[in-house]
Amino acid sequence: MKKRTAKSPLSKLLTLALFCLLAMGACKSKKRVTEAAPEPAPVEQPAPAPAAPAQPSAEEVAVSRLEGYFSSIANASNVQSANATIQEALGLFSNQNTPVLIVIHEENGMKDYDEPTDIQKYLNYLKDTQKNLNFISDVRVDGSGRVTELELRRRR
């Protein structure tokens, strides 16, 4: 038969007290370690200087100017003002025979174009129909900033 050893309540109490003392001591030491390392003071950095406005590329300039010309030609009140605007717009192109391609369908990166035309004919078409149904989707410019090719798409 087994003999039971009776532990005195005092030894149980001492064991429990020792365990609690060790646990509290460990918590305090962790707290001291975290408190011991003070946080560095935030370093104030000077506010960054406002960025200079980015210069638009030659393509962006050409697109914005051409969209304005196309709208002016289509909405001209008379033929003379439309012709004057056409002559101004032609100054943006490398020559009067600059190709204008109108995308009529695109699938899987393959584009189908309407019959190719040139800028002179397209500007006169705008004047005659008085409707600007296309927008510029791609423009190519040469080194001097003149448009060498124009790709248009139908507005939806």
Phi, psi of 33 (to 5 degrees): -65, -45
Neighbours of 119 (CB within 10 A): 23
Residue 35: its pLDDT value, please? Answer: 56
Residue 103: its pLDDT value, please? Answer: 93
Q: Are 152 and 101 in contact (CB under 8 A)?
A: yes
Q: Which two structure tokens, joined as six digits, stand for 80? A: 């003379």
Residue 73: its pLDDT value, please? Answer: 95
| Domains in the chain: ranges and CATH | 58-154 (3.10.450)
From 137, 155, 151, select the one nearest 99 (Cα to Cα): 151
Please give the chain's pLDDT, 156 residues, in tens: 555 555 677 677 667 666 666 666 655 545 555 555 566 666 676 767 666 667 888 888 889 999 999 999 999 999 999 999 999 999 999 999 999 999 998 899 899 999 989 999 999 999 999 999 999 999 999 988 899 999 999 887
